[in-house]
Structure 1
Amino acid sequence: MAVRTGERAGMDRSGKAWLRVVAWALLGLVLLGGSAAASIAVPGLVADEKAFLDAQPCDSGEGAGGGTADCLRTIRGTVLSAEEVKSDKVRVFRVRLRPPVPAPADQPIDVDRHSELSELVKPGDEVEVTTWRYVLVAVGHDGVSETLPGLPDENPTMFVGLSLAGVWLAVLAFFAAFGTARRARRAAAGRPFAPRLPFGPFKCAAVVAAPLVVAFFAGSVWDAWTGVVMTVVIWALTAVPATILALRWDRDEPSTSPAAVRVDA
């Protein structure tokens, strides 16, 4: 009776282990799909970056294109409100222009609340807003101008970093599936195994952070495709070795040490 109970418990553990194998594998496939989607957007983002960096101030006729104008358009407007607000848990200095003003200057304009501009602008002031296509580029008043965040030249390398992070997370998931299956087989055969490097959230965070940090610095130094290529190259030289070391979970040799013997997945 005790033998049957032990066999039933072993089968239950084995079944749960294989469910985890399937879950890890599915997670890896989802991550690969997300990375592919992010990488598909990169060529378009690079084209936008190049067009933005090459943009010149609009002539009198070009600015009529509004949000589709491929030049730097200047919109002059009167400040309706200028106040410090909380946006996405961050406090910013938000400026709104008195309508009617053409898009995209008709939307709230958030600047650094500690900037010189935030100390100058007040309701009733005349400001100049620089736009490119549908993007707010800069806002200025009385000779003081501030470039706004979220410009097209910030996007390509960051998307590459996100794509690389997704790919490497998928590698982690597939390796976890392999390790879980291996442990299940060894447990079913009654063979112990010894973990080499336990894999935890800190190692995972380090692996994910590597491509994002590299993408940020590459985007700050290079432009367009150069930044994208350098992101991949530098990331590969740093994140790949770190990940390989982090993923060496098990030794092939069985261990007789009680502390090292594990039979669950």
Structure 2
Amino acid sequence: MLLILLSLISAAACYLVFAWWLPSDSERYKDYRAAEPCSSRAMRQGRTDCLSTWHLTVVKTAVDKAVGRSVANEATLTYQDSWRGTVSFGNPGPLLRRLKPGDRVTATAWRHDIVVLSKDGVGQNTSEAPRDEIQMNAAVGVLAALFAAQAFVFGAVRLASPRDYEPFIWDPYGKQLLITSTAASFGVGLPAAWIGIPWWAVPVIAVPAVVCATEITHHRLRRNAAGRGSAVRRTR
């Protein structure tokens, strides 16, 4: 029952990914790409769906700063002593590693977030900048769907045959399937994001690959089990 409950939770997560998270990120990126510089009237009205420009001062920077098991790249900025905040970056270059306390920088803001920081013609996207990487959203959704299917099948088999449910056990079948599902989902999602392949290619490629791997693994385990059974009978 616990496995079936986990499968339902994972199926719900898959639904949220494809019904809300992926479309939301896609629309946000499109809106960002379509945004234009704010006019004087838009600035007076306090609009945030356009690109506003601010001249800020660097207070301090942190490059490859160890934070637990992760690494932080960030800059603390101030505006006329009336605002102070910290922006994060995915990596230290090309701009962050050059910044020093007291430097004047130009910040581009969109929807209350600083999305680009620049100085002397060198710009760098912050972690808040929308990116066209919804292939990774699809990879998470596919992994959730595959785990939901695996957990449901394993749970249903255990309920139907409480004393004879092999090979539907964690080690080695379940573990191998989970590793295969993870590798297939992100093994397709990452290259798709780098190359620019449409997001729907992730489930189209990853799901059949996992299904084939599942069949191969299942037949191999049953063949090995049958071989062990024959060996036991011969020894008797």
Other-structure match for 2:185:
211
More strand by share: 2
Q: Following TM superposition, by how much is the alpha carbon of 1:202 offset from its aligned partner in structure 2, in angstroms?
A: 4.2
- How far apart in 1 are the matches of 2:58 and 2:198? 38
Partner of 1:49: 29
State the match for 2:175 in structure 1: 201
Q: CA deviation at 1:93?
A: 3.6
Shift of 1:172: 0.8
What is the deviation of 1:77? Answer: 0.7
Aligned to 2:61: 82
Distance change (3 Å), C-alpha of 1:89 and 1:76: farther
Task: Identify the residue that residue 52 of structure 2 maps to in structure 1.
Answer: 73
2:42 aligns with one of 44, 62, 65 = 62
Pick aligned residue for 2:12 from 33, 50, 53: 33
Flag the 1:143–1:181 CA change in 2: closer, same or farther, 3 A. Answer: same
Query: In 2, Cα distance between the equivalents of 1:101 and 1:235?
Result: 52
The number of aligned residues is 228
Write out aligned runs for 1:108-119 (5 A). 108-111=86-89, 114-119=92-97
TM-score between both structures, scaled by the size of structure 1: 0.69
How far 1:129 moved relative to its partner?
1.3
Structure 1 unaligned residues grouped into runs of 5+: 1-21, 188-192
Shift of 1:227: 2.3
**Aligned letter for 1:72?**
L
TM-score (structure 2 length as normaliser): 0.76
Mean CA deviation greater in 142-151 or 86-95: 86-95
Q: CA deviation at 1:205?
A: 1.9
| CA shift in 2, pair 1:220/1:62, >3 Å | farther
Structure 2 counterpart of 1:217, which letter?
P
RMSD between aligned residues: 3.6
1:162-201 → structure 2 map (5 Å cutoff):
162-181=140-159, 183-184=161-162, 186=164, 198-201=172-175
